Structure 1
């Protein structure tokens, strides 16, 4: 039996679309929990919730743990490296940057600056509050032995406004070079003319197209039989069966 912990709002939408999903004959069950919002609150500007505390409950009940990670690998690396960033004097205990340069978390990832720290762009709460939240996620994720990342390389036109989207822009435009970033004018507005200019440039850029196709090929190889993602998924399924 596999148990999914999701919000009551998401559970209601899921059951409305597929009522038979919540049937234990399928060897899957859903536990719905409140998301802290009232019924009248809008949820279309919410980030995907990370229920780190659910891992603590699973560990207490001696259940096998798994996290399905849908954000960029660089964001995962950033969260997992929070203790080391503090230890190395790159950030303080409140998440504030103590350096002006770039940080290289891995040779496989583009470097990041303090402007890429996702806790600086996480809604109306203060950066320190958001940092403590992500620090809690990091502590809980250490309990999990399997982390699955879902990614795909395609050309992008980037217009970030929240959390990890700013580092995603850096990866897409400066690291992997598979997209372009929209730039606001002197009033902070991204105009339709800017969108049109960047879209025309994106379509006409052979280098970006070639890089996107290269990433697509790498992704297809990874999920094909014998690829790294395919092997990881097979190993994950084997562990779940034990």
Structure 2
């Protein structure tokens, strides 16, 4: 049988590129050939950030296509980015696939596209190629997208996605409560931008119906109710490099591995790890309160302060902060997070609750302090605190700031109660069993690989 050739297309954001790259490496391990199609802007970032020891380029064919914006334009402007992508990327992906089909006698076997780029599934359908939708986040979030028609019928939202009833709802009787104000599109206060995001979410949910598979970077053990509600979603995760005995790749910033040497010098279960992913932005007041909270905790900490974490400015620490914390604090611009969370010195994770960070922490038995910023991170916090009970959330003061006293108090509460660590270790055992031989995710991934390796069928 010929080697399957798969084209993988991520949504152009760090939290989406990483898990699809991980899936691609798993598929390479199973004997597949992968062409990974990044936007030109992100492709350059990935290549610049990759280390000399990173051999991903020898395993995966990394290609790029334009996203329709100039290099200096703002890619956090979702309205502008969405419009540009829609005008440019479908045609460019079509060209890439046709070039592969001309050069590879067997042609493209399958397109695996992030659910958030439904247009890529449309390109595959037009070219009569088998297609897979990859969902990199919690299955429960995708169920909320699939439930949009019912949410409109029930009067929870209107046809533009505006929230009509701010309340806790259950998408099905056995699902956890989801606050209607936490829907991914509801975060955006500007009605025009909210409508753009809502229309994109709705359109993608419709396009996914044409996919042969919907695979999800989650496990039945984490969210059984969501998978029971929509059984067409197939759990194959968590997809972690540590489970593949490799290093994660696809980062937009160079990883500072020196922090692992610093962790080696710290006692077991003693370090607070603080990292907010690639999108979270803090104003200067909040940034300084966080610094003072870590200082007043008197505990060791590893803090990731990426280059654009502060709103409209550089990271300005409280006067004398670095001198006062000395060597018990270690600050880096970007960390090898999976290796950090697997390190025995880590005691807890102060996290934005992005799904990648969530499953990485869960897979290592590390309890959380939740600091969600937007979109699905708010619901992920509900999983962490209310369903799995492996973490705590912060409360903001009257000025909308999480104060230094609140930070210190929650750290003391989390680390002073062994129940959180015990529950985290119990959840870790269940999740890690799912990806081992005979586990639920392992079996599903095996079925998926078998399907990929079947001869290309006419659709």
Contact 1:146 1:236 in 2 (8 A): no
8 Å contact kept, 2:115–2:135 = no
Output the CA distance in 2 between the equivalents of 1:131 and 1:121: 11
d(CA) in 1 for partners of 2:153, 2:140: 19
Contact 1:15 1:22 in 2 (8 A): no
Kept in 1: contact 2:115–2:208 (CA 8 A): no
* Pairing 1:133–2:200 present: yes
Q: Residues 195 and 49 (structure 1 numbering): CA distance in 2 closer, same or farther, change over 3 Å?
A: farther
Distance 1:42 1:97, change over 3 A: closer
Cα-to-partner distance string for 1:56-86 (whole Å, 9 max, x where unaligned) = 0011112222233221222121112222322
**1:3 is aligned to 2:35:** no
Aligned match of 2:443: 231
Name the counterpart of 2:395. 183
Q: Is the 8 A contact 2:156 2:180 kept in 1?
A: no
Q: 2:427 aligns with which of 201, 207, 215?
A: 215
2:157 paired residue among 91, 100, 105: 91
CA contact (8 A) 1:66 1:147 kept: yes
Q: 1:37 to 1:109 in 2, by over 3 A?
A: farther
- TM-score, normalised with respect to structure 1: 0.84
Quote the offset at 1:36 in angstroms: 4.5
Between the aligned partners of 1:50 and 1:123, the Cα distance in structure 2 is 21
1:154-182: per-residue Cα shift (whole Å, max 9, x none)?
Answer: 42111112211111112211222211111
2:122 to 37, 48, 56: 56
Name the SS for the 1:2 alignment partner. Answer: strand
Mark the structure with the bigger radius of gyration.
Answer: 2
**Separation in 1, partners of 2:170, 2:8:** 34
Alignment partners' CA distance in 1, 2:369 and 2:69: 32
- C-alpha contact (below 8 Å) 1:119/1:163 kept by paired residues: yes
Task: Say whether residues 1:148 and 2:148 are aligned partners.
Answer: no
165 and 228 in structure 1: CA distance in 2 versus 1, 3 angstrom threshold: same
- Give distance in 2, aligned partners of 1:73 and 1:140: 17
**Cα RMSD, aligned residues only:** 2.9
Q: How far is the alpha carbon of 1:238 from its aligned partner? A: 0.7
TM-score, length-scaled by structure 2: 0.47
Q: How many residues align?
A: 239
Q: Distance in 1 between matches of 2:412 and 2:149?
A: 43
